[in-house]
Amino acid sequence: MTMKFQDPDQDIAVKALQWQVLSLPVGLKAAILKGPADRMELTLPNFREEGTTISFINYKGDVRIGTGHRPGDKEQPASPGLGLMTVAGRPMSFRTGAAVPFAALVLFIPRAWAQLFMGANTPFRKIEQQLEEETNIITCRLGRRQLSLLSATLGVTGEPALSLLSLQNNALALLEYFLCNRHRSLLGVNPIADIENEDDLSLIREVESYISEFYCSDTFTVDSILKKTYTSYHRLNFLFKSIHGMTISEYIRNKRIEKSKEMIADNVKSISQIAYEIGYSSISNYILAFKKVYQITPGKYKKQIDSLA
């Protein structure tokens, strides 16, 4: 497929409600809207084609997203700086009770385009599946970079050819961010956690993998994690607690003790050997830790296992 270009006169053609619809050179369509709105009831523009839409919105105040046909149907509160992905044609509207400054960019991706540019990527197929089966809206919070891209997109002026291109670039960057963000959160699946921020989740994944790699080393400390990930102890602990329900040191201890339990069951090494091998510098510390986790000393545990065998 080649880049499609329309006659420049046709670029700013369709005006659905207050949406300004533009055709981008790569073959996407964008609808932009900006300005204060009082008591609005805004539906997405109709692109009359099969595909998906991603809406990026930003506002100050109180906005609700409706996913039903009638007002009042299935409403959920929105939050400023949000990306929403849905199948084109599904009902979605933004409602406000009072006057708020509101800005939105809706990106329409024709099905053929999506197939061409993203169809070969497994992550996209997963996202597509999710879109069709589980939920009908996928959301993602925008970072500062994306917010500034969004406001730049809505405020472009200047050379007609250049502004269209820069609008396209911003839109593509937003699209890429959205998909990558989704992809990352799909990799680290944790539905229980009520941590919204995808970056936090990926941080935790990183720490977890770091821990599982080094927890047996006797030079391993929580400090070394902090240094590696550039986070503060309190922040990391907070995140860990909200995901695993325990502090980071408890998490490491449990991991070590679990490992030692397996080693005891293997019945190859003595308990003191095991203690040193999993990174404890004194045996009494190890025995205390073991007792805390399993309410039994490692020696007794070993005897239990032996008697069973």
Partner 1 sequence: MSYVSLENSEGFLKCFEVIAEDKSCIVSDSVLYFSGKTGKGFITVAGIHTGIEVLAVNLSQLTDDLTIRFQPSSDAASYILHFDEIEVPNKGDNDVPVNTVGTPAEKGHSVVSIADAARGKTIVYPRERMIRSLVVRVRKASLDHLIKDFDAGTIGAILDSPDSPASLTWPITFKYRLLLNDFMAEIVQHPFRELFTIRNVSMLMEYLLQQLFVMQKLSDDGNSLSTQDTRSLSRVEQHLCLHYKTEFPGIEKLSRISAMSPTSLKTKFKRYYGETLFGYYQKNKLEHARKLLDNKVPVKVVATEIGYSNPSHFTLAFKKEYGFSPWHYLNPH
Instruction: List interacting residues with partner 1 (CB under 8 A).
Output: 1-3, 5, 8, 25-26, 79-81, 116-118, 120-121, 123-124, 141-145, 147-148, 159-162, 165-166, 168-169, 172-173, 175-176, 179-180, 183, 199, 203, 230
Please say which residue, 118 or 211, places its beta carbon nearer to partner 1: 118
- Least CB distance to partner 1 at residue 174 (A): 10
d(CA 290, CA 296): 7
Q: CB of 166: closest distance to partner 1 in angstroms?
A: 6
Element (H or E) spanning 108, and its range?
A: strand 100-110
Closest separation in Å from C-beta 295 to partner 1: 40
Running DSSP on this structure, what letter comes out for residue 2? P
Of 101 and 160, the one with the shorter C-beta distance to partner 1 is 160
SS3 85: strand
Nearest distance, CB of residue 4 and partner 1, angstroms: 8
Sign for the CA dihedral angle at 259, 265, 271, 276 comes to negative
SS3 percent helix, strand, coil of the chain, rounded to 5, is 50, 20, 35
Closest to 126 measured CA to CA, from 118, 204, 67, 55: 118
**Beta carbon of residue 141, minimum distance to partner 1 (angstroms, whole number):** 7
Query: Least distance in Å: CB of 127 to partner 1?
Result: 10
75-98 as b/e, with b when 16 or more CB fall inside 10 Å?
eeebebbbbbbbbbeeebbbbbee
Q: Of the two residues 14 and 226, which places its CB atom closer to partner 1 in the complex? A: 226
Closest to partner 1 by CB, 67 or 166: 166
CA distances to 83, 106, 109, 173, 205 from 163, rounded to whole Å, are 22, 17, 20, 15, 40
Two tokens at 20?
Answer: 């300004």
Q: How far is the CB of 181 from partner 1 (least distance, A)?
A: 11
Nearer residue to partner 1 within complex by CB, 178 or 251 = 178
Q: Which is nearer to partner 1, 206 or 277 (CB)?
A: 206
Task: Supply φ then ψ for residue 98, to 5 degrees.
Answer: -120, 175
Angle subtended at Cα 200 by Cα 199 and Cα 205, rounded to the nearest 5 degrees: 95
Q: Which is nearer to partner 1, 203 or 289 (CB)?
A: 203
Euclidean distance between CA atoms 161 and 229, whole angstroms: 43
